[in-house]
Amino acid sequence: MLLAVRVLLPLLLVIGVLLAVRYTLLEVLRGAGDRQRAVPARWIPAHLEKAGTTVVVVRRVAIQDGRVLDERVVQRVRVDDPDYDQRFLEAMATARSRAALYRSEEELP
């Protein structure tokens, strides 16, 4: 009985501390996300070139300073793709559509 108390009590204490740390960490991370959502921003389509590939993205950009708060890849198009123009234009159309969708979702109460 005494051995069980000597083993179980410290084990339960360690588990309790770990759960408290996990809870605190999750709350801090959740709060950071709330603060980021509170920054006035807008969703915009964009594209960039990386290693021979055009990456079409939708970015959430802070209105005040232009800082990129979030970026979501829509499509990657190889620059040597024979259908590059068509694929790029389709990807940009999709990016514009998603930006409009994300903007409308942020306007909901």
What's the chain's average pLDDT?
A: 85
How do the residues of the chain divide into helix, strand and coil, expressed in percent and rounded to 5? 55, 30, 15
Mark whether 14 and 67 lie in a shared domain. Answer: no
Mark whether 97 and 73 lie in a shared domain. Answer: yes
| Euclidean distance between CA atoms 101 and 43, whole angstroms | 9
Mark whether 29 and 54 lie in a shared domain. Answer: no
Who's near 71: CB < 8 A, 6+ residues apart? 57, 58, 59, 60
Parent domain of 28:
1-38
Mark whether 46 and 30 lie in a shared domain. Answer: no
Mark whether 70 and 87 lie in a shared domain. Answer: yes
User: What pTM was computed for the model?
Assistant: 0.63
Helix (H) or strand (E) holding 27: helix 2-38
Mark whether 97 and 60 lie in a shared domain. Answer: yes
Per-residue pLDDT band at 1 (split at 50, 70, 90): low
Mark whether 78 and 67 lie in a shared domain. Answer: yes
How far apart, in Å, are the Cα atoms of 43 and each of 7, 55, 57, 59, 61? 55, 16, 10, 5, 6
Contact 59, 44 (CB under 8 A): yes
pLDDT in tens, 55-86: 999 999 999 999 999 999 999 999 999 999 99
